[in-house]
Structure 1
Amino acid sequence: MVCGTSEGAQERPVPLRTVACDRCWDEAVNFPDREPEKIDIELTVDQLRVAPAADPREGTPSVCKYCETECSWHRTLHGRWLLLEPGAYPTSKIPPGKRWRVAGDGTAVNLGGANPTDECRITHFDVCPAKRAPEDGTLLLAIWRGNRRDWTARQNQ
């Protein structure tokens, strides 16, 4: 009801059951002065090419709030979130229960004691230099020491 009157208003054959009088309907339907602008298809396609879709296996980039190390968040099968350390490590050198795999959809899956592949991921929580040194696994301790050295150097700058 653009004109402000309900006289002659009736339901029109369009979605959402529009109700309008004949005068309002004619003005709404016949609007040559309001032609929509034509879309530049080539420009739109070029813009889409410039912005590639993010790979869900990369996770959501983040920084640890304790040590400011760059990591990535991944959702687990149970809906929790894990901060994974960048890079892959030999599965045989990581203790069972601390081995993670990132699925194609970005979900972090705990491998438990399984050893299905040569490499796995680890959580940043296991090697965060702001936390205590890990006591289960020489590789985790070596990674923690490297992170601790980098963290200490950043703090002294």
Structure 2
Amino acid sequence: MPLRTVACDSCWDNAVNFPEHEPERPSVKTVVEQLVDPVADPRDGTPATCRDCGAPGSWHRTENGRWLILEPGPYPMSKIPPGKRWRVAGDGTAVNLRSGNPTDECRITHFDICPAKPAPIDGPFMLALWRQRRPKVDLGDTD
């Protein structure tokens, strides 16, 4: 049973009208800006920079709950070895395609071609990407 209280007119008026507690009216400009600003696409991931080499990428959670940095842009799936092929689902989750059909494009992890790590032995294309990212060595004057 609800508790019922009796209050005089003065107390009731003070209890009902709380002008200092009224919520502020939102700014129309702020509301419009929030509606216009695009919502980030989860497939883009969280921007990242490799702490070993400084290369850009994006963090994505895997199906197993682990995190990895994916290289920007797609790569031809036929050139990427099975097990190194990734696709980003609509919710931003990185899915390993394993030996998926090599007629499409896929993503690769930065860890597989990071120039601060040992050279990959997964095939000539992965090795070429790794070499492409290696810093150029200045041999100086050879005179």
TM-score bin, normalised by smaller chain: 0.7 to 0.9
**Superposition deviation, residue 136 in structure 1:** 1.0
Match of 2:41 among 42, 55, 74: 55
- Cα gap change, 1:111 to 1:140, in 2 (>3 Å): same
Secondary structure of 2:101's match? coil
> What does 1:1-157 align with in structure 2 at a 5 Å threshold?
11=3, 22=7, 26-32=13-19, 35-41=22-28, 43-115=29-101, 117-149=103-135
**Superposition deviation, residue 82 in structure 1:** 1.0
Q: CA RMSD in A?
A: 2.6
* Alpha-carbon distance between aligned partners in 1 of 2:81 and 2:21, rounded to the nearest angstrom: 68
CA contact (8 A) 2:47 2:59 kept: yes
Normalised by the length of structure 1, the TM-score is: 0.74
**Superposition deviation, residue 35 in structure 1:** 4.9
| Identical residues among aligned pairs (%) | 63
* Alpha-carbon distance between aligned partners in 2 of 1:117 and 1:57, rounded to the nearest angstrom: 21
- Cα gap change, 1:77 to 1:25, in 2 (>3 Å): farther
Secondary structure of 2:135's match? helix
Aligned partner letter, 1:99: R
Which consecutive segments of 4 or more residues in structure 1 shift more than 6 A? none
Aligned partner letter, 1:28: A
Q: Of Structure 1 and Structure 2, which has the larger fraction of its residues in helix?
A: 1
**Superposition deviation, residue 30 in structure 1:** 2.0
* Alpha-carbon distance between aligned partners in 2 of 1:40 and 1:109, rounded to the nearest angstrom: 42
- Cα gap change, 1:34 to 1:103, in 2 (>3 Å): closer
**Superposition deviation, residue 11 in structure 1:** 4.3
Unaligned runs of 5+ in 1: 1-9, 13-19
Normalised by the length of structure 2, the TM-score is: 0.80
Deviations 1:95-129 (A, max 9, x none): 00000000111000000011265100000000000
* Alpha-carbon distance between aligned partners in 1 of 2:59 and 2:6, rounded to the nearest angstrom: 56
Q: Which has the higher contact order (CA 8 A, sep 6+)?
A: 2
How many residues align? The count is: 135
